[in-house]
Amino acid sequence: MSDYMTALPEIFLLSMACVVLTVDLFLKDSQRNITYLLSQVSLGLTLLLTLAYQPHGTQLAFNGTFISDLMSVVLKCFVYVVTMGVLLYSRRYLQDRGMFKGEYYVLGLFGVLGMMIMISAYSMLSLYLGLELMSLSMYAMVAFCRNSKRASEAAMKYFVLGALASGILLYGMSIIYGMTGSLNIIEISRSLAEQGSSVGVLLGLAFIVVGLAFKLGAVPFHMWIPDVYHGAPTAVTLYIASAPKIAAFAMTMRLLVEGLGSLQADWQTMLMVLAVLSLGLGNIVAIAQSSIKRMLAYSTISHVGFLLLGILAGTGEGYAASMFYALTYALMALGGFGMILFLSRKGFEAEELDDFKGLNERSPWFAFMMLIILFSMAGIPPTVGFYAKLSVLTAVVNVDLIWLATVAVIFSVIGAFYYLRAVKMMYFDAAEDQSELQPCLSFRFALSANGLTVLALGLFPAGLMALCAAALNG
């Protein structure tokens, strides 16, 4: 396969994003649905291309700066599917608020392109380019609703902190480059295995870990998450909260595990600190939130803690568990924020927890869907969240870090409180808002499919788990 064929999905999506950008210029506001459909079609076709041209084994391209393997295929496919869900869920929200503009879709597509490059990057340079492409798109999306003070503030914070984090990451990368003489992941890995650990390498490692921690949103580099999630329009929050986590997981895997794998003993301890802090702070502070968007933001932080647990276990089992966690968390986050969009309507943001009161009276079916998603986030069987947590914990226990597993379980128990409180509000409190739910059929259908997938994956997790294991160990 030639280099260009290996990167065909990326090239295709780039062209399509440009096409969407151009086409959108010539559309009237009333024709904006064309932009929407074109974006969805682009993502769908990229999905098909990715599947059709998937490599046998590992395929390197562009002088080893780009990789295509089973892991990249699986992660990318999830990114497409989740993003398609995001576009579908957010359409009506954007229409109701006069934000149904081409920019959302173009930026969204470029963001996806960035994620794809992050997933497939095999050199620190391409990795950084992908990361910046994604981040810049997201900064712009947060600020997308220019009139909103809150959104602008969030975008500003996000941008400044993101730039700081990027700088730190880049600094770390440059130190590693200085120590190993290469930007290429394989070369770095080879060189480090020879020279072993040194102060210089550790310095670089620490900076890289901080950069990664910011992108993932691990404590104490999480500060942007609550403010950005809360400040951004919900449609954008939905975008930021779901697919980018998959890309961030890929970046962590490429950099830490594949590139700096020989320093595992060092980064294991660092991640441990980050994981415990994230689990603790995320779960505890989420309890004090009254806004569901902020609550889910803190919940994200705690989930990142779990994600890190699997990686720091440092075994194939742990990586697979972590990947499973990242994929299923993206689905849960999609459903959770999707539910907020579902309840919102023109002139009304269903952002407060109280807006979920009595949902069961208004729509028993969607209350049930939300129940599944919340149960899954809390890790209650038979939803997929339980299995994801279980496999991560098993991996951690298998490397004799029993105390860490215990801490994780205790914080999960504390965390279960705020998920269950939301469930209690849906089922046992009287509804304050009796207005009819408006979403269209496709939204209803997609949200139901989303909830049921979370349930079905919990009942039959073996297939996806085997796929994750194969992707990482194959």
Partner 1 sequence: MENLYLAIPLAPLVGAILAGLFGHQIGRTASHWVTILGVGTAFALSLVAFNHIVFDGGEVFNQSVYTWMVSDGIRFEVGFLVDTLTVMMMCVVTGVSLMVHIYTIGYMHDDPGYQRFFSYIALFTFSMLMLVMSNNFMQLFFGWEAVGLVSYLLIGFWYKKETAIYANMKAFLVNRVGDFGFLLGIAAVLMYTGSLDYDTVFAAMPSLVGQTIEIIPGSPWDVITVICILLFIGAMGKSAQVPLHVWLPDSMEGPTPISALIHAATMVTAGIFMVARMSPMFELSETALSFILIIGATTALFMGLIGMVQNDIKKVVAYSTLSQLGYMTVALGASAYSAAIFHLMTHAFFKALLFLAAGAVIIAMHHEQDIRKMGGLKKYMPITYWVSLIGSLALIGFPGFAGFFSKDAIIEAVHHSEIVGASYAYFAVMAGVFITAFYSFRMFFLVFHGETRMDEETKSHCHECKPVVTVPLILLAIPSVIIGALAIGPMLFGDFFNGVIFVDPSRDVIAQVGEHYHGVWSFVLHGLSAPAVYLAFAGIFSAWFIYLKRPQLATLFYNRLRPLHSLLEKKYGFDEFNAAVFGGGSLKLGNLLWKFGDIKLIDGLLVNGSAKAVGWFSGKLRHIQTGFLYHYAFAMIIGLLLLLTWFVVR
User: Of the candidates 414, 449, 452, 456, which one interacts with partner 1 according to CB under 8 A?
Assistant: 414
Judged by CB under 8 A, does residue 156 bind partner 1? yes
* Binding-site member from 109, 124, 209, 308 for partner 1 (CB under 8 A): 209
Residue whose C-alpha is closest to residue 322's, from 237, 391, 220: 391
Cis peptide before 382 (omega within 30 of 0): yes
Q: Of residues 67, 270, 327, 371, which one binds partner 1 by CB under 8 A?
A: 270
When binding is defined by CB under 8 A, the residue of 202, 390, 431, 456 that contacts partner 1 is: 202
Instruction: Answer whether 289's CB lies under 8 Å from 351's CB.
Output: no
d(CA 305, CA 296): 14
**Which CB sits closer to partner 1, 269 or 435?**
269
What is the rounded distance in angstroms from the CA atom of residue 250 to the CA atom of residue 257? 10
Instruction: Identify the CA nearest to 71 among candidates 81, 79, 62.
Output: 79
User: Among residues 159 and 342, whose Cβ is nearest to partner 1?
Assistant: 159
Q: Is the dihedral angle over the CA atoms 56, 61, 63, 67 positive or is it negative?
A: negative
* Calpha distance 142→170 (Å, rounded): 23
User: At 140, is the secondary structure helix, strand, or coil?
Assistant: helix
* Residue 441 binding partner 1, by CB under 8 A: no
For residue 308, give both structure tokens: 């890190």
Cis peptide before 226 (omega within 30 of 0): no
Residue 207 in contact with partner 1, rule: CB under 8 A: yes
Residue number, 157 or 444, with CB nearest to partner 1:
157
> Closest by alpha carbon to 214, among 108, 156, 135, 309?
135
CB of 214 to partner 1, least distance (A): 7
Residue 165 found at the interface with partner 1 (CB under 8 A): yes
160 binds partner 1, rule: CB under 8 A: yes
The site that binds partner 1 (CB under 8 A) totals a number of residues, namely 36
- Contact predicate 453/326, CB 8 Å: no
**Residue 104 Cβ vs partner 1, minimum distance, rounded to whole Å:** 25
Please tell me whether residue 18 binds partner 1 under the rule CB under 8 A.
no
Position 134 contacts partner 1 (CB under 8 A):
no
Restricted to residues 280-299, the positions that interact with partner 1 (CB under 8 A) are: 281, 284-289
161 binds partner 1 (CB under 8 A): yes
Q: Which stretch binds partner 1 (CB under 8 A): 106-114, 141-149, 208-216, 440-448?
A: 208-216
CB 430 within 8 A of CB 353: no
Q: Which is nearer to partner 1, 48 or 160 (CB)?
A: 160
Q: How far is the C-alpha of 352 from the C-alpha of 90, rounded, in Å?
A: 18
| Chain residues in the site for partner 1 (CB under 8 A) | 156-157, 160-161, 164-165, 168, 199, 202-203, 205-207, 209-210, 213-214, 220-221, 223-224, 226-227, 266, 269-270, 273, 281, 284-289, 414, 417
